[in-house]
Structure 1
Amino acid sequence: MQLIDIGLNLSHDSFDHDRDAVWQRARAAGVTRAILTGASRAHNPKVLDLARSRPGEWFATAGVHPHHASEYSTEYDAELRALHAHPEVVAVGECGLDYFRDFSPRPAQRRAFEWQLQIAADTGKPLFLHQRDAHADFMAILRQFDGRLGPVVVHCFTGTREELFDYLDQDWHIGITGWLCDERRGQHLRELVKHIPGNRLMVETDAPYLLPRTLRPMPKDRRNEPAFLPHIVEELARDRGEAVEATAAATTATATAFFRLPG
């Protein structure tokens, strides 16, 4: 298998002591490329630097997660646009809405989301989106940009059947993580993933978060890694009634096309 992890938080400080070893384990497991998630003013430049350090293997996103929406400003919008001038930055995001935790006030979240959608409209870059407990506002804001946006992926999908089909009706893409492996919260995804067309499906770890609960043996530090992506693909293939090789090939082809990666 040659897999692409489309959501890897490799700038997280839990990787600071062994980042190269983490990637070597991923490579040995068949993960050949990764999209490194930029989600805050502090981390976006670091993610870009990481992507530059492994050209052709690591690529970056640049955005402001709704948790950090309060930091968004006219000044930072200009900084973010400057980051998007670099070819290593292949998508706008992670951005969106999160009403589950409300770490930023909801009006600030909506404003930051709209500003970043404008960046996507202006650059034509794909969007890497986050939505939790905010579906109605999420859809309403995106409808304001109908016909102006490029490809969209709703990353780390954990939502309802209604939400899934709303996204698929818009021809958006879906990112599936190890949430699928969580018998407490993700059991409904086992059925829903069957309905995602192969050319709309991608896979991600969201590491160091969302360690798959079905992984054996469990790492002692409970840190998720890109090396565990094949485990997610195996579970996903089983739920979809596909050969693992077919799911791997389809998700890799979809990610390559979506992020406009070389060959």
Structure 2
Amino acid sequence: MHKDLKLPPEALRLSVDLSGFDLPEAPKAPTPILGQPRAQAALEFGVAMPNPGYNIFVMGEPGTGRLSLITSQLSEAAQKSPAPPAFAYADNFSNPREPVAVCLPAGYGHEFGKDIDKLIDDLLATFPAVFESPAYQQKKSALERQFSQHYNAAIDLVDERARAMNIALFRESESVTFAPLRDGKTLDEDQFALLSQAEREQFHKQVEALEEYLGDVLIELPQWRRELVEKLRQLDCDTIKQAIDPLFAALQEKYQHIEDAVSF
């Protein structure tokens, strides 16, 4: 009977199958430096220091485990700490020597860089096309016509006075010249030389008077030019803004929760 109650050796060991349990991984104890408890304590204190401006200087004999201890300590601290932010550095057009640092949450750096590269490609493709569009060309032509109308109206006044003096006015680009008229026809240099001295002198005096009058009616020409340049500049700005706003709107919506990205 005692023989039947005898237990085999394998029955004396308790075996538990833990494969069905989700157990946290046990933390690894830092590898100590043999005989250097103070050095290890100092390293732990330094790594745990959250404030900036502190450094850890490690020295010792080769083979004492310095690198192993530091690597182990930093790995453990990194696992307990939140992931650091990513930084993207962009050109600072105001001061090229100091690039703009854009602080991004961890994991956003590479994606942000790809989005900016795509934005640049889209902008390069947009600019030539937007200034060649019929809408832009029509607005630009309308502004230039306004300037031409001011200029032509002033020249017409001078032309009217010149014809009353039997003098023809010619426009060549932005210059104005005068020539004598006889029977509605312009005299060339040879024909002009055949006129009497008195007629030639009278013509020169009349031209001087017309040139003075021309200066009076065109006294606002520089102002007209400035207004045209300003209107064309404003047209360019409005056209560019209208074209690129949708491109930036998509990025602003995507990164609206990241202050640095939106301000950049």
TM-score, reference length from structure 2? 0.18
* Bigger Rg over Cα: 2
Identify the structure with the greater helix proportion.
2
Identify the structure with the greater strand proportion.
1
Q: Which has the higher contact order (CA 8 A, sep 6+)?
A: 1
